[in-house]
Amino acid sequence: MNPTESPVPAAVEDLTVRYGRAIACAQVSLSVARGGVYALLGRKGAGKSSLVRCLVGAQKPDSGRTLLFGEDAWRHRARLMTRVGVVLEDPDAPPAMTPGEISRFCARLHRAWDGRGLRDRLARLGVPLDAPFGRLSKGQKAQVMLAAALGHGPELLVLDDPTLNLDSAARKALFEELIAALAGRGTTVFITTHDLAGIEAIATRIGFLKKGRLLLDEEMETLRSRFRRIRYGNEITAARTVYGTELDAFDAVRVQVRGWGVDAVVSNYDDLAFERFRRTAGVVDAEVSAMSLEEIFLAVAGEPLAPESAARGAAREGTP
């Protein structure tokens, strides 16, 4: 890094976390660019929460390190966390405290506390300021924790699966509020999630985590441009498709031969290469289509991200 450049808000370097013989994270490295939204995707148990605890200095890794603004998060946590807002997987606040009391408590911890902003945000969302936290709905609790995390104007916002166990309406509301809160602020976000539909519209960089290993780490636009689904009829032989040749140029990650033809997911798509492919002997009626983030995850990780995704994925796979 150039000495004149500011360090990135968050970085993970060769992070390994073990629990006995079980490995939660295996030599994971990633970097969160300033002003970006990095989404780390993975199923429950993939190692996301272990990585987050290390990132915010709440857990010491077995090896490797995590950095906040260029400094070791474990060694300098108390000072660094004044620049960070955190929302954990399970909203956690004293059940008897009201959102108003939570705000006043946080004001004693942070010099630059925006109590009015918190009150206005919760009022807009219909969250009562005088109701005990324990009596709020799951969606309301999540909104209170997000508002509290944003209350001191953090440079970095860390969200650990904030929509887990929320219904679709509450998930939508939380992401809409997140987008509204971040618009024009330049706040950097690191979020772990299984909610692909919610994060796809705002993420600038994506990571896929499976069983503690980082399978993929790249810019969202790059990911979208290089992954495609190609479908075509094959008049020569299915074996040629399965064992190579016509799809070699596209780095196919999944090839399925069906009764009507071939359904392939490729990771190195190019328009000119596709035009040449369409003219290959035996290739008939070739079509190409863009893929959703959910479809890309399924192709790369080989598993649906969440149970509800599995049902949708199975329906798509069974559709000609």
Residues 211 and 237 in one domain: no
Quote the CA–CA distance of 40 and 12 in Å, as a whole number: 12
| Residue 2 located in a structural domain | no
Residues 231 and 174 in one domain: no
Residues 204 and 245 in one domain: no
| Residue 3 located in a structural domain | no
Residues 108 and 238 in one domain: no
Residues 180 and 291 in one domain: no
Q: For position 232, which CATH number holds? A: 3.30.70
Residues 114 and 31 in one domain: yes
Quote the CA–CA distance of 313 and 303 in Å, as a whole number: 9
Residues 61 and 181 in one domain: yes
Structure tokens at 185: 């602020």
Q: What is the residue range of 136's domain?
A: 10-222
φ and ψ at residue 202, rounded to 5 degrees? -120, -15
| Residue 1 located in a structural domain | no
Q: For position 35, which CATH number holds? A: 3.40.50.300
* Bridge partner residues of 19 (DSSP): 22
Q: Please tell me whether residue 126 adopts helix, strand or coil conformation.
A: coil
Check residue 42 and report its DSSP letter: -
Closest by CA position to 278, among listed 242, 230, 241: 230
* Reported pTM: 0.87
Give the domain-ending residue among 222, 248, 280: 222
Higher pLDDT, 297 or 4: 297
Residues 54 and 170 in one domain: yes
β-strands 10-19, 84-87: how paired? unpaired
In the chain, the number of structural domains is 2
Residues 161 and 286 in one domain: no
Question: Helices 115-124 and 138-150, interaxial angle, to 10°?
Answer: 150
φ and ψ at residue 71, rounded to 5 degrees? -115, 150
| Residue 5 located in a structural domain | no
Structure tokens at 33: 């660019």
pLDDT of 174 strictly over 90:
no
Please compute the mean of the pLDDT values over residues 278-302 and round it to a whole number.
91
pLDDT of 146 strictly over 60:
yes
φ and ψ at residue 72, rounded to 5 degrees? -65, 120
Give the domain-ending residue among 222, 237, 264: 222
φ and ψ at residue 248, rounded to 5 degrees? -55, -40
Quote the CA–CA distance of 239 and 112 in Å, as a whole number: 66
- Band of residue 313 on the pLDDT scale cut at 50, 70, 90: very low
| Residue 172: alpha-carbon gap to chain centroid | 15
Give the domain-ending residue among 185, 205, 222: 222
Structure tokens at 211: 């069983």
Please compute the mean of the pLDDT values over residues 94-120 and round it to a whole number.
93
Within 10 A of 243 (CB to CB), how many other CB atoms are there? 9
Quote the CA–CA distance of 58 and 275 in Å, as a whole number: 52
Residues 275 and 168 in one domain: no
| Residue/partner pairs of 104-108 with CB below 8 Å, 24 or more apart | 106/148, 106/151, 106/152
| Residue 4 located in a structural domain | no
Percent of residues, the chain, with pLDDT higher than 90: 63
The 10s digit of each residue's pLDDT in 13-72 is 999 999 999 999 999 999 999 999 999 999 888 999 999 999 999 999 999 999 999 999
Higher pLDDT, 75 or 241: 75
Residues 239 and 294 in one domain: yes
pLDDT of 175 strictly over 80:
yes
What is the DSSP code string of 261-281?
-EEEEESS--HHHHHHHHTST
Residues 211 and 253 in one domain: no
The 10s digit of each residue's pLDDT in 192-242 is 988 888 888 889 999 999 999 999 999 999 999 999 999 998 877 655 555
